[in-house]
Every structure is written in structure tokens, then in C-alpha cells.
Amino acid sequence: MRQTILVTAATGTVGREIIKQLSMQEVNARAGVHSIIKGENLKRLPGVEIVEIDFRDPDSLHAAFTHVDRLMLITPLSEEQMEMTRNLVDEAKRQGVKHIVKLSALGAGAEPGIQLGRWHREMERYVEESGIPYTILRPAGFMQNLVNHSADTIKREGKFYMPVGDGKVSFIDTRDIAAVAVEVLTGDNHEGNIYELTGPETYSHQEMAVMLGEAAGKEITFVDVPEDAARNAMLSRHTPEPIADALLELYAAHKAGKSAKVTDTVKQVTGREPHTFRQFAKDYHECF
Ligand SMILES: NC(=O)c1ccc[n+]([C@@H]2O[C@H](COP(=O)([O-])OP(=O)(O)OC[C@H]3O[C@@H](n4cnc5c(N)ncnc54)[C@H](OP(=O)(O)O)[C@@H]3O)[C@@H](O)[C@H]2O)c1
């Protein structure tokens, strides 16, 4: 019988790619979407059903988890992410889910690490202590952050702004995170494992700007900005203060060269090399 796999945050950067890749497998892929309208595109994929889910609403969770075998647990970066995780794991327990795959972040195991990692570690622990077999995915920063957060200024001004200096980062393409997730969700022998996922190389933002520019056929410049300016920009976009501070701490780690760990886990789990930044830039050049 086909397994039913629930993916939460299914309209998000990683979730929608997982749903896309699951739709090519012999499974029932259930896309947990916050708003049905945003999930419309996913509905057209073969073998995919859409279910409306609000992590804070127990009734919606109960319906979304009915007959679910495995859970891909993704929560947004939010002040409520721990509470959301608790609600999801508790419902998984109640409904007899057999395997949870949690999207975490690289560095969640570091001590003392940074705030973003500590938040993820707390969520990982809740999954580990649930008694449900689990696998943890800890990806590096996403190449697709440039699409989500910098495409507007690149299109308008040919520039993007970050307080990261020339620190190198082992950015990963979210298509590779999804490929690992699909392998784990549809395969065996991954229980209890923690997978640290990175791209194949490290890149400074200056180097990424050059590669993006070559792919897009125009000049693209990276502008290093002071922390204060980055903080003010986040607060003016209504980013909650604790989240803004946690992101600044991450950017300081990037700047100090502390986000440059490279692993070969994507290749080990999927049998394929992860995308390089040059390939990402080529595939996404129209966004810029
Ligand atoms: N970005 C990075 O570089 C990076 C690196 C490592 C780890 N991570 C981790 O990746 C995770 C985020 O994944 P992502 O980037 O794929 O997500 P994302 O693109 O930020 O999307 C978040 C998703 O959560 C949904 N959502 C928000 N509130 C919800 C609620 N109350 N109930 C149900 N759904 C809700 C959103 O739907 P609506 O839009 O409809 O509200 C959206 O689909 C975070 O845990 C983050 O720490 C990120």
C-alpha cells in the first residue's frame, strides 16, 4: 500500500520542493498549506493532495494527520516555532505516525553555538524524546535566500546588501535538501541519523555576485553593510527583535568564516553531487 507522507510548510522554500519531488514517487504526498490559495500550484502535481493546516489550531492538525505514515516537519522561523513543533509532534504521537523527519539547521549541535542553532536543538530534542523514530536534517544557508530576500534590489539596482563581509559560506541548493528528504521519507535505514547538509564548495557574497551577474547577463554587486543598518532594515520590515538579533548573530558567524563547513552527505544519501552555486545561478537567472 502507498504510504501517506505529510509535509508541513508545504508552500515554503523547502516544503514545496519536497512535494514536487515526492509527486514523482509511488506515495501519497499530502501538502500541509497555511492558505489554500498559496497551495493551488501544488494541487496540479500527480499524487498530491492539499490540506489546510494552522500549526496553532488543533482541529486543523487532527484532520491533516489522519492516516499519515510519515511526517516531514518544517516550521517557519518564528517566535512561535517551539510551540508549533510541540503541537505537530504531539499530534503525530496521537495519530501513530511512524517516522518524523525534522528540518533543522547546520550548527544546531554546536555548544554554545548561536541562538538560531539553540532554538533548533530544543525542537530536535522534542522530536527525539517523542519516542517516534526520527531523522534530523541540518542544512547550511540556502542559495534560494537570494531569490527570497535579494531579488528585488538586484532587479531594481543590480545590488544586494548583507552584513557578512567576505566570509565564505557553504550554501546549499534547497533542491538538494529536498532530494535528501525524499530519500529519507521513502527509504529505510535513516532512523536516528542526523544529516549535516551543505553545498559542494564555499562562496563569499562577492563571488556569488559575480556568478549571478554572469548568469543574468548584467552587473550585480554585493554591498557589505554595517550591522546597525541591517538591523534597522529588518525592524522596519517588522521582523520581531529576537529574530533580527538571531539573524545578525548568524551573519556575524558568516563574516568570521564560521559557516564554511563542507560535508559530502548529499552525495552519500542521494548518490548525486549537490548543485554548485554556478548551476543555481544558471537555473534561477530569470529571478534576478
Ligand atoms: N533560510 C535558510 O538559509 C535556512 C537554513 C537552514 C535552516 N533553515 C530553517 O528552515 C525552516 C524554514 O523553512 P523554509 O525556508 O522552507 O520556510 P519558508 O519558506 O520560510 O516558509 C514558511 C512556511 O510556513 C508556513 N506557515 C507559517 N505560519 C504557519 C502556521 N501558523 N501554520 C501553518 N503553516 C505556517 C508558511 O505559509 P504562509 O506563507 O501561507 O503563511 C510557509 O509555507 C526554518 O526552521 C529555518 O530555521 C533555513
- The tens digit of pLDDT for each residue in 181-238 reads 999 999 999 999 999 999 999 999 999 999 999 999 999 999 999 999 999 999 999 9
Convert 44-65 to b/e letters by CB count within 10 Å (16 or more is b). Answer: ebeebebbebebeeeebbeebb
Q: Indicate whether residue 139 lines ligand 1 (CB < 6 A).
A: yes
Q: What is the pLDDT of residues 113-145, one digit of tens each?
A: 999 999 999 999 999 999 999 999 999 999 999
Q: Give the position of cell 563542507.
A: 262
In DSSP terms, 99 is beta-bridged to 70
Q: Indicate whether residue 141 lines ligand 1 (CB < 6 A).
A: yes
Q: Give the position of cell 548561536.
A: 114
Q: Indicate whether residue 115 lines ligand 1 (CB < 6 A).
A: no
Q: What is the pLDDT of residues 144-154, one digit of tens each?
A: 999 999 999 99
pLDDT at 146: 98
Rounded Cα–Cα distance for residues 286 and 176 (Å): 20
pLDDT at 283: 98
Rounded Cα–Cα distance for residues 245 and 45 (Å): 39
Closest C-alpha to ligand 1, atom 38: 34
Please give the distance, rounded to the nearest whole angstrom, from the Cα atom of residue 76 to the centre of ligand 1: 3
Q: What is the pLDDT of residues 35-89, one digit of tens each?
A: 999 999 999 999 999 999 999 998 999 999 999 999 999 999 999 999 999 999 9
Q: Which residue has the higher pLDDT, 58 or 16?
A: 16
Predicted TM-score (pTM) above 0.85: yes
Closest C-alpha to ligand 1, atom 21: 12
Closest C-alpha to ligand 1, atom 11: 76
pLDDT at 234: 97
Question: Is 276's pLDDT higher than 90?
Answer: yes
pLDDT at 6: 98
Residue 91 in 3-state DSSP? helix
| Helices and strands of the chain, counted as H and E runs | 13, 9
- 1: pLDDT confidence band, cut at 50, 70 and 90? confident
What average pLDDT does range 263-285 have in this prediction? 98
Q: How many residues does the chain have?
A: 288
Question: Is 241's pLDDT higher than 90?
Answer: yes
Give the ligand 1 atom nearest the CA of 55. Answer: 32
C-alpha cell at 203: 562562496
> For residues 34, 35, 41 and 45, what is the CA-based torsion angle, rounded to 10 degrees?
50
DSSP state, 286?
G
Q: Which CATH number fits domain 4-140+174-198+261-274: 3.40.50.300, 3.30.450.20, 3.40.50.720, 3.40.250.10?
A: 3.40.50.720
Q: What ranges make up the beta strands (E) of the chain?
A: 4-7, 28-33, 48-52, 70-73, 99-103, 134-139, 159-162, 194-197, 221-224
Q: Indicate whether residue 77 lines ligand 1 (CB < 6 A).
A: yes
